[in-house]
Amino acid sequence: MKSFVRYTKTTLLFLLVLTVCIAVSGAFSDVESAQKRKKSSKIDPTNPCSVIYLDTKGNLAGVGDPNKPASLSYKKGRGWHPQALSANGLPKDRYGLIDWARLVRENLIKPRHALKAGVDEMPPLQMDVLIVAKGDFVDDVIYPHEMHTYWLKCEVCHPGIFIPAAGQNNMTMIGIVEGKWCGRCHNKVAFPLTDCSRCHVSPKKTSKK
């Protein structure tokens, strides 16, 4: 009788361990299949029918197919539909997005400063700020006021997003990716963060790696 109890106990233990094992391996294959599923729904940015319109949370905002309007504002914005714009032969960056900075530099557009005539426009501020990237190797960032103040007022950034004093903001790249500092605009309305070398332009003197 005693040994019977012992056998039942060990068998139960064995069964328990077995279920745990199966559950664990199941979880792993779950993760893998989840990754597979993700892959199959991946968007190809080089395909013009594919999405380039993501909302601020990174979710789909439109399908990029002119026959399938994303929203009601589609009709109004038809003339300024990003695809229509791209088809106009405007310069594009290496991701196929319109390069607004080059448009400005090459004088291809001249947007009006204000709705009312006669409002004085402040000329862009010509001041580059060196932002030293933490770490030993990555190129430092040169922040160009000129390109930004062409589009934006000082108050857009100062003092809400940046304290106007070099080196006082204690930025981090992780924070930028999470949507702080430069990430308030870049990856959303300005060129994407994937384009590392547009910000990281000034090689560190200490390292050639």
Partner 1 sequence: MIKRILIGTCMLLIVPVIALSAVDSIKIESHGTSRNKAGVGPVIFPHKLHKKSFKCAACHPKIFKAKLGGNSITMRQNMNKKFCGSPGCHNSPKAFPLFHCNKCHMKGK
74 binds partner 1 (CB under 8 A): no
How many beta carbons lie within 10 A of that of residue 175, not counting itself?
14
Task: Report the nearest approach of ligand HEC to the CB of residue 135 (Å).
Answer: 4
Order of strands, edge to edge, in the sheet holding 128-131? 128-131, 140-144, 200-202
Among 79, 89, 118, 135, binds partner 1 (CB under 8 A): 135
142 binds partner 1 (CB under 8 A): no
35 binds ligand HEC (CB under 6 A): no
x-or-dash string of contact with ligand HEC, 188-207, rule CB under 6 A: --xx-xxxx-xxx-------
Among 17, 27, 158, 159, binds ligand HEC (CB under 6 A): 158
Segment interacting with partner 1, rule: CB under 8 A, options 13-21, 71-79, 109-117, 157-165 = 13-21
77 binds partner 1 (CB under 8 A): no
Task: Report the nearest approach of partner 1 to the CB of residue 143 (Å).
Answer: 18
198 binds partner 1 (CB under 8 A): no
2 binds partner 1 (CB under 8 A): no
Peptide bond preceding 144 in cis form (omega within 30 of 0): no
Among 52, 62, 64, 157, binds ligand HEC (CB under 6 A): 157
Among 59, 67, 168, 197, binds partner 1 (CB under 8 A): 197
18 binds partner 1 (CB under 8 A): yes
33 binds partner 1 (CB under 8 A): no
3-state secondary structure the chain: CHHHHHHHHHHHHHHHHHHHHHHHHHHHHHHHHHHHHHHHCCCCCCCCCCCCCECCCCCECCCCCCCCCCCCHHHHCHHHCHHHHHHCCCCECCCCCECHHHHHHCCCCCCCCCCCCCCCCCCCCCCEEEECCCCCCCCEEEEEHHHHHHHCCHHHHCCCCCCCCCCCCCCCHHHHHCCCHHHHCECCCECCCCCHHHHEEECCCCCCC
Half-sphere exposure for 116 (CA within 13 Å, toward CB):
3
- The footprint of partner 1 (CB under 8 A) covers 6-7, 10-11, 13-14, 17-18, 21, 24-25, 28, 32, 35, 42-46, 133-139, 172-174, 177, 187, 193-194, 196-197, 200, 207, 209
